[in-house]
Amino acid sequence: MLIKSRPPFASEITPREIVESRRDFMRHLAVGSVASAAVIEMAQREAFAQNSTIARLPATANPAYVLSEKKTSYKDATTYNNYYEFGTDKADPAENAGKFKSHPWTVRIEGEVKKPVTLDLDKLLKLAPIEERVYRLRCVEGWSMVIPWLGYSLSHLLKQVELTGDARYVEFTSANDPQQMPGARSRVLQWPYVEALRLDEAMHPLTLLTLGMYGELLPNQNGAPLRLMVPWKYGFKSAKAIVKIRLTKDQPRTSWNVANPAEYGFYSNVNPEVDHPRWSQASERRIGEDGFLSRKRKTLMFNGYSEVAGLYSGMDLKKLF
């Protein structure tokens, strides 16, 4: 169970308590395979206090989502980020998100559902077995990474809230706290950051409700405590730090589409045949492997996830980009 009263802030924990909580944490991890949310929270606060590593999140590798490609280094994946709430430079999120309070947390699921619900992190961690899935992430800017994400199919969550017959889209809203998020004080995008999927896209087993990466809980700069990963779409469709999931009848307005509809469509499937108005999408640069300026790799249709093609049969993907 999550601690109900406000947990002590890192600054309130005495050194002795820190030592003992660490011992406790290690013991828990040694005994059980699944760390409870309370233990994870304790470890998280301690990690902040110690400026050290993030709590481990046990997971089972899903053999269906293993790639032969080399994984991106943890360092690159956590220091080269897009997270405009913390600044527009790639290095900004790692620099500015460290103190963001991603625990405790709740996410609200509402709209066209028979059972609207507010879930805390403890419930999310226990909703379904946590899997490790190695996915490619292709940013619309022309770079890509290969990351071992931890989580489970979003469909597990959506099945629990019982959708009404009018549920046709799923909208994801990110946290918007200008006090903690310096980038959210600027007007570079409309806040909060909102993204959305068609219901069949959201229910597709590939769509991952993501709670961790590289064996640990998500670092703040990668969207702690929960984000989406939709590997066949450009990275911006995968919203970070989600506070609300809303089922809707009509197609939601989404942040990037509102900002520039000619450049960012609602679907935004990775498609080497549909160029961005200002650059080609035919190739990409793998972070940490290819040279800083050169794009060496051919971009694959649906980012290589051809199993989703059936979702778009009969659609003109040049028009519905």
Ligand X SMILES: Nc1nc2c(c(=O)[nH]1)N[C@H]1C(S)=C(S)[C@@H](COP(=O)(O)O)O[C@H]1N2
- Closest CB to Mo ion among residues 82, 102: 82
229 interface partner picked from Mo ion, ligand X, none, CB below 5 to 8 A per type: none
Encoded tokens for 144? 């890509």
What is the closest distance, in whole angstroms, from the C-beta atom of residue 281 to ligand X in the complex?
Answer: 14
Contacts 24+ apart (CB under 8 A), 111-114: 111/167, 111/171, 111/246, 111/247, 111/248, 112/163, 112/164, 112/166, 112/167, 112/168, 112/247, 112/248, 112/249, 113/161, 113/162, 113/163, 113/164, 113/167, 113/247, 114/161, 114/162, 114/163, 114/164
222 binds, among ligand X, Mo ion, none (CB under 5 to 8 A by kind): ligand X
Q: Closest CB to Mo ion among 240 and 244? A: 240
Pick one of Mo ion, ligand X, none as the site partner of residue 216 (Cβ within 5 to 8 A by kind): none
With respect to ligand X, which residue has the nearer C-beta, 24 or 289? 289
Q: Which of ligand X, Mo ion, none sits in contact with 240, Cβ below 5 to 8 A by type?
A: ligand X
Q: Tokens standing for 128? A: 């379904």
* Binding piece for Mo ion, criterion CB under 5 A, among 77-85, 184-192, 239-247, 313-321: 77-85
Q: Which stretch binds Mo ion (CB under 5 A): 28-36, 236-244, 245-253, 312-320?
A: 236-244
- CA–CA separation, 118 and 299 (whole Å): 39
Q: Smallest gap, in angstroms, from Cβ of residue 95 to ligand X? A: 13
- Report, in Å, the least distance between residue 316 CB and ligand X: 25
Considering just the CA atoms, what is the radius of gyration of the chain in Å?
A: 19
Chain residues that interact with ligand X, rule: CB under 6 A: 81-85, 137, 139, 174, 193, 222-223, 235-236, 238-241
189 binding Mo ion? (CB under 5 A): no
Measured between alpha carbons, how far is 297 from 309 in angstroms, rounded to an integer?
21
Q: Which residue has the tokens 């490609």?
A: 69
CB atoms within 10 A of CB 10: 16
Smallest gap from Cβ 271 to Mo ion, in A, equals 15
Nearest residue to ligand X on Cβ basis: 235
To the nearest whole angstrom, how small is the minimum distance from the Cβ of residue 140 to Mo ion? 5
Name the residue nearer to ligand X (CB basis): 8 or 178. 178
- Distance in Å, CB of 51 to ligand X, minimum: 21
Q: Pick the binder of Mo ion from 82, 174, 255, 257 (CB under 5 A).
A: 82
**Any contact of residue 235 with Mo ion (CB under 5 A)?**
yes
Helix or strand run (H / E) with residue 38:
helix 37-50
Give least dist CB 139 to Mo ion, A: 3
Binding to Mo ion in span 119-148, by CB under 5 A:
139
- Per DSSP, the three-state class of 145 is strand
- Please check whether residue 196 is in contact with residue 169, taking contact to mean a CB–CB distance below 8 angstroms: yes
Q: Which is nearer to Mo ion, 8 or 261 (CB)?
A: 261
φ and ψ at 265, to 5 degrees?
A: -80, 175
SS3 18: helix
**Cα angle: 252, vertex 256, 259; to 5 degrees:** 105
Q: How many residues bind Mo ion (CB under 5 A)?
A: 4
d(CA 110, CA 310): 28
Question: Which residues bind to Mo ion, rule: CB under 5 A?
Answer: 82, 139, 235-236
